Amino acid sequence: DVVLSLVDGLWDIEGGFRPTWLFKHKIGEDDFGGPVQFSSHVGATLNLDQIALSYRYQHISNSDIYNENPGLDLHLVGIGVRF
């Protein structure tokens, strides 16, 4: 992952990419093709004193190495306490 801190640490911008392993590649009616997947994400965190508010967009897919490749898009929101 790469994190860039801006405005004296008020904002953090992050991005990353990594291989991912699914122990079960069939979840319900969704078939993700196989166990090897790739995850990428970008996000931002607003650091307010002891409170951190964050958003991350994450995409997971197998990059077409299998016949099935529906992919999965996630929007994640977080609230944290810094200490």
Contact predicate 39/17, CB 8 Å: yes
Q: Could you read off the pLDDT of 16-65 as tens digits, one per residue?
A: 999 999 999 998 899 999 999 999 999 999 999 999 999 999 999 999 99
At residue 82, the pLDDT reads 87
51 within 8 A of 79, measured Cβ to Cβ: yes
